[in-house]
Amino acid sequence: MRAMTYRGPYKVRVEEKDRPRIEHPNDAIVRVTLAAICGSDLHLYHGLMPDTRIGHTFGHEFIGVVDEVGSSVESLQVGDRVMVPFNIACGTCFFCARGLISNCHNVNPNATAVGGIYGYSHTTGGYDGGQAEYVRVPFADVGPSVIPEGISDENALMMTDALSTGYFGAQLGGTREGDTVVVFGAGPVGLYAARSSWLMGAGRVIVVDYLDYRLQKAREFAYAETVDFGAVDDIVLHLKRMTDHLGADVVIDAVGAEADGNLAQHITSAKFKLQGGSPVALNWAIDSVRKGGTVSVMGAYGPLFSAVKFGDALNKGLTLRMNQAPVKRQWPRLFEHIRSGALDPSAIITHRIPLEHIAEAYHVFSSKLDDCIKTVIVPESAAWTAA
């Protein structure tokens, strides 16, 4: 089969790999019909995540058709059109039994730190991901679900991570009616978090980024006020002035490990790998939320130390909430929002690119060329089109 493979930082290509096979009676093999590149895939692409091995196939956002099932699979049949959450979970361990499916203890040798994730290095179990023609899906009775009638392929694809993660980020903020919510980052997760904040009762939503086209999308898609942090002298002071000098009630970090805004932090994290990620956005979140407020962290960080302002968080009495999103838990409510017309997740998709052009797709997305916000990867041969 054809699959994206990692060849080192900034180097990916399509190669022939063995088609995955059933390794356990509860496995399924899914033929991928659509995949996507996530912002957190760029952390792998840039060489920031530990134990990203040559030959690994990325991609934790994908949907497809069941091609083969193991002997004990009961919930799926060959031919089913399925959406697959990025979390790999057993459904029965201590954490799964408590709804913490993103923290499953049975799917990753490094499970004390993180559960299993498709296509996200051996730190998260070493499972090959969905930027390929076929994927092995373990615990097929737990993770994937048949795509319901009325849910388009592209909307289902967005629900496998980005939309569910953004919605979960807004949930973790504990937004109450009338709250002011600030979202750092106008990428897909930030856009979804901002839009979801309205659904949870926010009275005001402000999105911070530095790229004009992403800020424009935040105004159009998320109905948010926007701030270009590069156009103000001090983003924290600017946000304080916008919020009666108190700070926002809720701040969501939807940026993560590669945040711009502080050269020293960026160099020590991105260039020298001395931190688990640049904590610029997280520190801005801590500084710009009001005392007693909540910071929700959705941006991905590596397992190394990061220079976070924990003392400030302590002294301000903040609530810090974070986790990898338990994707499948979000789906019932998101189905309702999509069917009612309150959400159209596919509206942020800007590019649809054949798998054969995966190297160019990563370059465009990483370098933020051609006003790229969200890229869908099509395994079958297809013409390159921009939405």
pLDDT at 310: 87
Question: Which homologous superfamily is 2-161+326-386 in?
Answer: Medium-chain alcohol dehydrogenases, catalytic domain (3.90.180.10)
The pLDDT > 70 percentage for the chain reads 91
How far apart are the C-alpha atoms of 165 and 159, rounded to whole Å? Answer: 8
How far apart are the C-alpha atoms of 135 and 20, rounded to whole Å? Answer: 6
Do 49 and 120 form a contact (C-beta atoms < 8 A)?
yes
Confidence of residue 49 (pLDDT cuts 50, 70, 90): confident
- Equal CATH topology for 2-161+326-386 and 163-322: no
Hey, where are the domains in the chain? Answer: 2-161+326-386, 163-322
Do 331 and 146 form a contact (C-beta atoms < 8 A)?
no
| Residue 335 phi, psi (nearest 5) | -55, -45
For 350-378, letters b (16+ CB in 10 Å) and e give bbbbbbbbbeebbebbbeeeeebbbbbbb
pLDDT at 268: 43
Q: Which residue has the higher pLDDT, 358 or 300?
A: 358
pLDDT at 291: 98
DSSP strand pairing (385-386 vs 351-354): antiparallel
For the domain 163-322, what is the CATH code? 3.40.50.720
Confidence of residue 59 (pLDDT cuts 50, 70, 90): very high
How many CB atoms within 10 Å of residue 273?
A: 14
Q: Give pLDDT tens digits for 120-139.
A: 999 999 999 999 999 999 99
Instruction: Share the mean pLDDT of the chain.
Output: 91
Say yes or no to pLDDT of 23 above 50: yes
Q: Give pLDDT tens digits for 127-178.
A: 999 999 999 999 999 999 999 999 999 999 999 999 999 999 999 999 999 9
Alpha helices in the chain (DSSP H): 41-45, 153-159, 162-172, 188-199, 212-221, 235-242, 263-266, 280-288, 310-315, 327-340, 358-367
pLDDT at 307: 76
What angle do the packed helices 280-288 and 235-242 form, to 10 degrees?
30
pLDDT at 259: 54
DSSP per residue over 161-201, as a string? Answer: THHHHHHHHHHHTT--TT-EEEEE--SHHHHHHHHHHHHTT
Do 223 and 197 form a contact (C-beta atoms < 8 A)?
no
pLDDT at 274: 43
Q: Give pLDDT tens digits for 253-304.
A: 999 766 555 444 444 444 444 444 578 889 999 999 999 999 999 987 765 5
pLDDT at 199: 96
pLDDT at 114: 82
Element (H, E) at 291: strand 289-297
| Cross-strand bridge partners of residue 146 | 82
